[in-house]
Amino acid sequence: LSDRLEGAWKKLRGQDKISESNIQDALREVRRALLEADVNLQVVKQFVADVQEQAQGAEVVQGVSPDQQFIKIVHDELVGLMGETNVPLAEVEELPTVVLMAGLQGTGKTTASAKLALHLRKQSRNCLMIAADVYRPAAIDQLMTLGKQIDVPVFQLGADAKPLDIVRQGLDQAKADGINTVIIDTAGRLQIDPQMMAELAQIKELSQPHEVLLVVDAMTGQEAANLTRTFHQEIGITGAILTKLDGDTRGGAALSVRQISGQPIKFVGVGEKVEALQPFYPDRMASRILGMGDVLTLVEKAQEEVDFAEAEKLQKKILEAQFDFDDFLKQMRLLKNMGSLGGIMKMIPGMNKLSGDQLEHGEAQLKRAESMINSMTRQERKQPDLLAGSPSRRRRIAQGAGMKLDDVSKLVSDFQKMRTLMQQMGQGQFPGMGGMGGM
Ligand code: GDP
Ligand code: MG
């Protein structure tokens, strides 16, 4: 346990600033996490470089390592980047609001059209869906079936009509019927295709949509970047719907889409059912992409619990060898606030090697120490040396805490060793470990 405390103590001193060298491991972790989440390689490079530059020189929070703090900064940056998405779907005064769905074949455009219509209907926005995909024979039927299921009308002219005609007439119908929002379901191709793009551009020109939503399959991975670039350059998108997030993907496509287009993800699809649409939650997505929830929790806790002014006072006391039992107690309570010792160890990567027995032992030791300190007088806490010279004081404390004289004697001598050691560490000397005894 003493090695662990030494490491923890170095962190609690909080003298680190984030530098390129002390976040090497974190950088590697973050890059790996992003690539594993299928964020496009170029996007990863750019993003990591941006965050690194921004984090450089930041003071490290007491109680965490520069690595951990860097990961938190990355996380916050990810949230920020994806975070302006609570902008609801456009709604215009002069009805109807027009939403154009775009994307490759099979990404979930038709399904998403119905999901969106249902979502809007729940907000009392009545919708009309326009079936403008005349290329896949079953596409119109599919939309009709979905429309029935959610009780939303579908405008269609069969598979022989031209998409532009369908859209024109559909919009007229919507205006005549006082429809609030029109959702245009379009055809996709398996790959980006000039003809598809040209048709989509024409539909956009004709319908003047208030939203052009790129529907992206979350499983698309690396390709999401190219896809977004092409659609955004050629059509211009106002947002995206990320579908199939119920799969086992980590959702890195979200970052690619956002970084490349600058446009928000508005919704995510989380299943085949029409109800399976959710607003996009940036922080959930950031944690999912990083896959480091535990580390983030730890960093957040540390930021909450650590009182900077208090920590500075403590540091000064240590350097002047004035660290007393009261400070010791504060330090222990700080650890406790952050959760059980075992819980903290488990959250720190590479620090979870302590056996359950060792952890329990460590926590029990801390509890015992606390009860002994509670039995000390104020003066004794402030002047630990009083105890070293007085067996009768130690005996009284042992009785008060329900322990043996030896226990108190050991606490006092361990404390003195620890104080010396901390003072040396505080002055930048790192003696071989040995002190702190069984503490
Ligand atoms: P489109 O070609 O872009 O119109 O795609 P479709 O709407 O026809 O969807 C293609 C397939 O993906 C269908 O089998 C859908 O049920 C399925 N799908 C769509 N969205 C989701 C989703 O969020 N999760 C899952 N698991 N499947 C989805
Ligand atoms: Mg379709």
Residue nearest to atom 5 of ligand 1 (CA): 108
Q: Separation of 111 CA from ligand 1 center, angstroms?
A: 6
Q: Is the distance from CB of 155 to CB of 123 less than 8 angstroms?
A: no
Q: Separation of 145 CA from ligand 1 center, angstroms?
A: 14
Task: Please give the class, per CATH, of domain 307-426.
Answer: mainly alpha
Q: What is the pLDDT of residue 369?
A: 86
| The residue count for the chain | 439
Angle, helices 66-82 vs 24-36, to 10°: value is: 40
Angle, helices 405-426 vs 308-319, to 10°: value is: 90
Whole-angstrom distance, CA of residue 331 vs CA of residue 379: 19
User: What region, left, alpha or beta, does residue 108 occupy, with left being phi > 0 and alpha being psi -120 to 50 degrees?
Assistant: left
Domain boundaries, the chain: 88-281, 307-426
307-426 shares the fold of 88-281: no
Q: What is the pLDDT along the chain (439 residues), one digit of tens a residue?
A: 455 555 555 554 555 788 888 888 888 888 988 998 889 999 999 999 999 998 988 888 777 788 888 888 898 899 888 875 566 799 998 899 999 999 999 999 999 999 999 999 999 999 999 999 999 879 999 999 999 999 999 999 999 999 999 999 999 999 999 999 999 999 988 888 899 999 999 999 999 999 999 999 999 988 999 999 999 999 999 999 999 999 888 889 999 999 999 999 999 999 999 999 999 988 888 888 888 766 777 777 666 665 656 666 766 776 677 778 888 777 666 666 555 555 545 544 444 445 566 666 667 777 888 889 999 999 999 888 899 889 999 999 999 999 999 999 998 988 888 777 766 665 654 433 333 333 3
User: Which tokens hold the place of 310?
Assistant: 């208090």
- Which DSSP string corresponds to 371-428? HHHHTS-HHHHH-THHHHT-HHHHHHHHHHHT--HHHHHHHHHHHHHHHHHHHHHHTT
Q: Give, for ligand 1, the residue of 109, 111, 186 to mutate: max count of ligand atoms closer than 8 Å to Cβ.
A: 111
The matching CATH number, chosen from 3.40.50.300, 1.20.140.10, 3.40.630.10, 3.30.70.270, for 88-281 is: 3.40.50.300
Task: Give the distance from CA 95 to its chain's centroid.
Answer: 38
What was the ipTM of the complex prediction? 0.99
Q: What is the pLDDT of residue 158?
A: 92
Backbone φ and ψ for 266, nearest 5 degrees, come out as -95, -35
Of the ligands numbered here, which is closest to the C-alpha atom of 271? 1
Q: Separation of 244 CA from ligand 1 center, angstroms?
A: 7
Q: Is the distance from CB of 269 to CB of 108 less than 8 angstroms?
A: yes
Task: Give the distance from CA 417 to its chain's centroid.
Answer: 42
Q: What is the pLDDT of residue 434?
A: 32
Which atom in ligand 1 lies closest to the alpha carbon of residue 243?
23
Q: Is the CB of 251 under 6 A from ligand 1?
A: no
pTM tops 0.80, yes or no: no
